[in-house]
Structure 1
């Protein structure tokens, strides 16, 4: 029976902070072999569509789990979406502006960030994220857009406290302390929930599913698939939730993992 393999992006397929901005030849060769054998390959990421490079969009993946599971695409068909309620988004935005928080709203294809968010733009530039699908002129109260996730840059303790206050029954909130970037998204969705929707759609049993990841937001998917494979550069906490551990992304960890644990 066919297998389905899910790949995280940052720290797994690539690692921009350490100089790997594209899929290496060895990793591509291993993934192409999986495809040639008739298996499915997917991206499972916290990123929205707007943050996916042209290389990954054109690579030939069978689909994407975007924004930590809030959007699921199989063969270019959007099979699931769970947007944040528009009135909730508007309330949160008003508070972002009150606390001078730079923010981006992540939609189905486009993301929305005002041009004055210079520091946040610079942060995304450091990850080689194109501005092609980022719109800086918009009024959310006047246009019909669905928002699946928000990311924020806080410059004061008061702003940080507000962002952390969003954590609750409705939202999860992650904080990257080194960059002071916060993420807010639906607590109902995870990469794991998105993966289960893919497996149901393709009628593939869980035991025939695999996932590669390195981050805290990969833990649930590593636990949920048939074989979760942590990257060598993952933290010990993440590794403890995986069934297998492969090499560092710098050492073609995906290629090594495919050869050892899938083929």
Structure 2
């Protein structure tokens, strides 16, 4: 079947390294992008996605950032849902006394209280630079600007993440999406949005979910993969993701998305 839209997660899926798409992926995307929309769907901030769009030659396409909380077409906001300042203050208070740094994201802004090995990795892998500022000061500034967070990244130790996760789920689980991306990272996003909700926003009248093929690897990709016309998991995906997918391609490090395109989507 010929698909009108291809949606792909980035980290662990389309990216063959921690930060870049391969020449093979660029080549295979190039073969279909004239008649298939290529939409990148990620938890990343805009600047961490624009350079990948540029490499793929799809800078004219919209992007879905922060797992659906922010949808952009160039610099134009198509949709923006952020967590309000009262929620951010509650999270800050719950983190007080626990070994954790808050990474706060709004549109293309990223704030952290200090540098760390985790922050340096983010800078390297996403090619984006944070503002180093005390979290309390950031929250006060955002209150004055009447804005909130599209995403929060709690940078913990394993012990502090083990302590915080159940507390956050109990206090804020009904209001927020809480996602433990690894032993030391907890990502927080607005409850009302998802990758799928953002994809639906970008569909025009003559398109339906059946016309979409999507690629992913992690828990936050499940809803997207389950509901589009064809959901494809990379071989390195979580077992739960592979279980609900229509197909499983090669690992991201072996250019799994490019491999699937070359064998199934190129005429």
- Calculate the TM-score normalised by the size of structure 1: 0.86
Secondary structure at 1:240 match in 2:
helix
Are the counterparts in 1 of residues 214 and 232 from structure 2 also a CA contact under 8 Å?
yes
CA–CA distance in 2 between the matches of 1:237 and 1:95?
A: 31
Determine if the alignment matches structure 1 residue 118 to structure 2 residue 130: no
CA–CA distance in 2 between the matches of 1:154 and 1:240?
A: 30
CA–CA distance in 1 between the matches of 2:187 and 2:131?
A: 19
Determine if the alignment matches structure 1 residue 128 to structure 2 residue 125: yes
- CA RMSD in angstroms, aligned pairs only: 2.4
Identify the residue that residue 31 of structure 2 maps to in structure 1: 33
Identify the residue that residue 67 of structure 1 maps to in structure 2: 66
- Calculate the TM-score normalised by the size of structure 2: 0.85
CA–CA distance in 1 between the matches of 2:101 and 2:63?
A: 27
Cα drift, residue 159 of structure 1:
5.6
Identify the residue that residue 217 of structure 2 maps to in structure 1: 214
Identify the residue that residue 43 of structure 1 maps to in structure 2: 40
Are the counterparts in 1 of residues 122 and 128 from structure 2 also a CA contact under 8 Å?
no
Cα drift, residue 207 of structure 1:
1.3
Secondary structure at 2:87 match in 1:
helix
Are the counterparts in 2 of residues 69 and 193 from structure 1 also a CA contact under 8 Å?
yes
Structure 1 counterpart of 2:153, from 146, 151, 154 = 151
Structure 2 counterpart of 1:244, from 217, 242, 247 = 247
CA–CA distance in 2 between the matches of 1:6 and 1:160?
A: 33
CA–CA distance in 2 between the matches of 1:163 and 1:119?
A: 21
Q: Which has the higher helix share?
A: 2
Cα drift, residue 251 of structure 1:
2.1
Identify the residue that residue 168 of structure 2 maps to in structure 1: 166
Cα drift, residue 55 of structure 1:
3.8
CA–CA distance in 1 between the matches of 2:258 and 2:91?
A: 42
CA–CA distance in 2 between the matches of 1:113 and 1:71?
A: 20
Deviates more, 1:71-80 or 1:239-248: 71-80
Q: 1:177 to 1:207 in 2, by over 3 A?
A: closer
Q: 1:76 to 1:165 in 2, by over 3 A?
A: same
Identify the residue that residue 100 of structure 2 maps to in structure 1: 101
Determine if the alignment matches structure 1 residue 228 to structure 2 residue 231: yes
CA–CA distance in 2 between the matches of 1:30 and 1:211?
A: 15
CA–CA distance in 1 between the matches of 2:205 and 2:92?
A: 38
Secondary structure at 2:43 match in 1:
coil
Q: Would you say how many aligned residue pairs link Structure 1 and Structure 2?
A: 254
Cα drift, residue 164 of structure 1:
3.2
Give 4+ residue runs of structure 1 displaced > 6 Å after superposition.
none
Are the counterparts in 2 of residues 48 and 106 from structure 1 also a CA contact under 8 Å?
yes
Secondary structure at 1:233 match in 2:
coil
CA–CA distance in 2 between the matches of 1:192 and 1:27?
A: 23
Identify the residue that residue 5 of structure 2 maps to in structure 1: 4
Determine if the alignment matches structure 1 residue 83 to structure 2 residue 82: yes
Cα drift, residue 110 of structure 1:
0.8
